[in-house]
Amino acid sequence: MSESCHDDHRRGLAVLLPQRHADDHMEHEQSDCACHPGANHAGAPSPRIVFIGNPNVGKSSLFNAILGTKARVMNAPGTTVLLERGTYEHDGQSWDLVDTPGTYSLLPISPDEQVAAEAVMGLEGNPDPDLVVATLDATNIARSLYFLALVLELGRPTVVALTMNDLAAKNGAHVDAKQLSRALGGLPVVEVDGRTGKGVPELMDTIAQSFHGTPMPGGLHPVNPHTVDIEQWVEGRADERFDWAACVIADIDLDNRDDVTFSDRIDRLMLNPVFGILVFLAVMFLVFQATTWLAGPMQDWIDGTLREWITTGITSVFALFGPHATDSWVYGLLVDGVLDGVITVATFIPPMGIMFLCLSLLEDSGYLARAAFVMDRAMRMVGLDGRAFLPIVIGFGCNLPALAATRTLPDSRQRVLVGMLIPFSSCSARLSVYIVLAYAFFREQAGLVVFLMYVFSVLLILGVGIILRKVKFRSLAPEPFAMSLPPYQWPRLVVLVRSILTKLWGFVRGASSIIVTMIVFMWILQGIPAAANAGSFGKVEDVHQSVYGVVADSVAPVFKPAGFDNWHASAALLTGFVAKEVVVGSLAQSYNVNTGDETEQAQGEGSLGAALNHSFNESSGGHGKAAAVAFLLFTLAYTPCLATVAELKRQFGGKIAMQTVGLGLVVAYILAVLAFQILRLVM
């Protein structure tokens, strides 16, 4: 037997449509012919296999184990629910595999559940699946059997993948796959473990033998989802399905299972109203520290040592072409443009990798579901569940890994809402701007000013969240909180590492082109002379005399109502769009101040602070402190950095990314203008 997997994943609603092959340029409708669906005749679409199951049953792990990639299927949020698809080769036959979001019912209450239901039922233009793989959680067999009854009544060929049986055995409730198959009237049942790959070959062989049809267990009645009223069908026979599930449980002798499990005993502490919150805050503190302090030295090494090594190598190569080769604009483009973009992408790899590691550990261990339960009440004020607290907290360290953390949220609407709120979390990169301006204008109260910026960030998240709920996310109404708590288990190291590497590569591949392109574009603007005596291309000594300076001059009047309509401020904000870390450096460059290795406090108290005082007082008509507060608020609220925009686009699509950028700019401008106009009366 020859089995191989193709990394041919397709995201978006496109995964629900038949695959278009390179040698097939015509649209193919699903065939209703009586030929064997797995035959792959020339021109015929590949058999379609849909994976479905409840949340937290190991379905996505199984899906990725089959495809040969350990990347967990993350349904990136957006106006449509994104899925993952893969092409699998089995004995020369090509199959289309589609993973769906976890759902408790085929009567959906969220967009994610609706996509899952429509995919398995073949509704709303989705092709009918040739076979359904229903994943059953052996640790919660009663709930899984009720859902299985709904799937079986669709009348599709179905294979049961029995997961978490090892954990069920530890609780004294091992489910025998053969005995369960007999209780289900001969329906194929295969015990699998997506974390180790156990049972995958047997599952695929069973699928190959089941395309022609599988038995319908006694007590269930098939329906045609294209003609039946879905709501009436799901709700009308619920009691009969529960009775059927009870009979199956009796047939497999699970009535004497241990009701109190190891996970139950731990949850007595983890879900305690007091101790549970303390544990959660401690976990959040460790994750926050890991993505900031632990990643910091690695980022410094990349930005310092690695950059120096590569720069030295490029310089050595150019030296081969003559002593003046490094004076060319090509050298400047490579070192200050392309290399700077590459290094910028590379510096985000450590915090992203650490965040992916933390998320995988929390999710695979089973704790993430407990965290959502503990924090659910606090997050309901903005219409979110408890899991939304994690990415928002991480956002105060770095917005980029915080966006990655939104993938743990169960509803696509929640993921979009939290993704749009995260840029208002005051990341550590903004701190250098706060410190410099606080010591430049409020030396005695500098610490208080910095603290208040973080307090205002929290208030801003709550305020914008409430507004978005009422304007853009009106359908995201609070619903009764019900979720399955998966059993605690040890994550698999090999699976963990492969998952992290796969996700990191997805980030690098998705974000690098945008970041590098924009940084090169900024270099070009700064390298084009705008005056006769400004120098040559790539050799403009005074940035104010470049096209970049002209753009900064043209933007400056927009900020007159905010009190800082000078090109120094507008130029710093433009570079801050690329990265907030360079705002202070841009200010020093525009004022022609050499700060050397001075700390942010020393810069604020020194010559840079004096220059800021002079220009802000001049542009604000003597109300420099009010203008400084306006500048700080604008820095807090507008787009955190280009990498965040790239990640927004990668996860949510270009439309959501642009809406988020626009929202940040509008909120930042309104805050800055209001702050200046009010504070200039008292400062």
Tell me: is residue 60 an annotated ligand-binding position: yes
Task: Specify the DSSP element, H or E, that contains 119.
Answer: helix 111-121
In the block, tokens 């998966």 appear at 486
Tell me: is residue 101 an annotated ligand-binding position: yes
Separation of alpha carbons 130 and 310, rounded Å: 53
Would you state the structure tokens that stand for residue 51, as one six-digit string? 């994976």
Tell me: is residue 328 an annotated ligand-binding position: no
> What residues does 50 pair with on adjacent strands?
98, 132
Tell me: is residue 91 an annotated ligand-binding position: no
What b/e sequence results for 529-563 when a residue is b if at least 16 CB atoms lie within 10 Å of its CB, and e otherwise? Answer: bbeeebeeebebeebbbbbbbbbbeebbeebeebb
- Nearest-5° Cα angle at 508, 506 to 511: 100
Tell me: is residue 621 an annotated ligand-binding position: no
Residue 592 CB: number of other CB atoms within 10 A?
Answer: 11
Tell me: is residue 272 an annotated ligand-binding position: no
Would you state the structure tokens that stand for residue 601, as one six-digit string? 């406090």
Secondary structure of the chain: what % helix, strand, coil (to 5)?
A: 60, 5, 35
In the block, tokens 């009854």 appear at 149
Cβ burial of 428 (10 Å; 0-12, 13-18, 19+) is middle
Separation of alpha carbons 148 and 135, rounded Å: 8
Which of these, 185, 194, 196, 193, lies nearest to 145 by C-alpha position?
A: 185
Residues with Cβ within 8 Å of residue 571, at least 6 apart in sequence: 543, 544, 548, 549, 552, 586, 590
Tell me: is residue 125 an annotated ligand-binding position: no
How big is the chain, counted in residues? 683
CB 639 within 8 A of CB 425: no
Tell me: is residue 617 an annotated ligand-binding position: no
Task: Specify the DSSP element, H or E, that contains 400.
Answer: helix 399-405
Tell me: is residue 58 an annotated ligand-binding position: yes
Look at residue 409 and give its three-state secondary structure. Answer: coil
Tell me: is residue 592 an annotated ligand-binding position: no
Tell me: is residue 662 an annotated ligand-binding position: no
Tell me: is residue 586 an annotated ligand-binding position: no
Tell me: is residue 68 an annotated ligand-binding position: yes
Would you state the structure tokens that stand for residue 387, as one six-digit string? 């899991």
Tell me: is residue 222 an annotated ligand-binding position: no
CB 422 within 8 A of CB 399: yes
First-residue to last-residue Cα distance in the chain: 80
Would you state the structure tokens that stand for residue 206, as one six-digit string? 């069973």
Cα 634 to Cα 38, 404, 577, 676, distances in angstroms: 59, 25, 12, 11
Separation of alpha carbons 412 and 15, rounded Å: 17
Which of these, 415, 365, 364, lies nearest to 390 by C-alpha position?
A: 415
Residue ranges of alpha helices (H) inside 122-237 are 141-152, 165-170, 177-183, 200-208, 230-236
Tell me: is residue 100 an annotated ligand-binding position: yes
Which residues are known binding-site members?
Answer: 53-60, 64-65, 68, 99-102
Binding positions for Mg(2+) are 64-65, 68
Show binding-site residues for GTP: 53-60, 99-102
